[in-house]
Structure 1
């Protein structure tokens, strides 16, 4: 995927998010996630999970505190778009969060504020489980 300068900047912000999340660096996650964060995850059975900023941070805190190994950072960037101060990224990942491997498509919506890209909405669809 050929990216212009602003798209590359957005991709680097998502790469930083993935690296921070996969290594449970809470200070970085606090900076990369907007306080108004909403996460919606669609599971294969059609059920939906919702998380807010605090619940998401607690999830990563529990993984860190339990001594969980780092999560694989491999990511396939499917789509990157920027409109003014808003960014949109679709990224597909194969992840094991302790319950078996899942292929998940993430739709990330970002807002650039004070020169920093922050994720304010994350929609995830689990498309397969192994």
Structure 2
């Protein structure tokens, strides 16, 4: 059974990110966030908390249209106090629609569940 608390938190993350609500993203992501993105050519991009917020801020400031929030939750569970969510999405970040699998790691803090690590694999054209 999928943990609805985690699904709700990731849905909140998706909505905030796709609509460029930077202040909300700043509370959903942990300040010690690390993001790794495995690209189609097998190269690896890494972002920290500030770089991630700057990315969303640049999209907002450029007038980018909101992104699609559609998500397929493959996994949402808590084990030993850590939340694990795997979600499949189709996003167009400027290179056409791509199928992307996100693995999110969450910890429960005084701010509620926060994402402290994110790994994404871009599979290719959707």
Runs of 4+ that moved beyond 4 A = none
Q: Which range moves more in the overlay, 84-93 or 67-76?
A: 84-93
Residue equivalent to 2:98: 102
How do 1:23-102 residues align onto structure 2 when only pairs under 5 Å count? 23-102=19-98
Shift of 1:129: 2.5
Residue equivalent to 2:4: 8
Gaps spanning 5+ residues in structure 1: where?
none
Helix, strand or coil at the partner of 1:126: strand
Helix, strand or coil at the partner of 1:74: coil
Residue equivalent to 1:122: 118
Q: Which range moves more in the overlay, 55-64 or 76-85?
A: 76-85
Q: Which range moves more in the overlay, 113-122 or 88-97?
A: 113-122
Q: What TM-score comes out, normalization by structure 1 length?
A: 0.93
Shift of 1:33: 0.3
Shift of 1:19: 0.3
Shift of 1:81: 1.1
Take 2:81 and 2:111, find their aligned partners in 1: how far apart are those partners? 9
Q: CA RMSD in A?
A: 1.1
1:19 aligned to 2:15? yes
1:112 aligned to 2:108? yes
Gaps spanning 5+ residues in structure 2: where?
none
Change (3 A) 1:115 1:35: closer
Helix, strand or coil at the partner of 1:28: helix
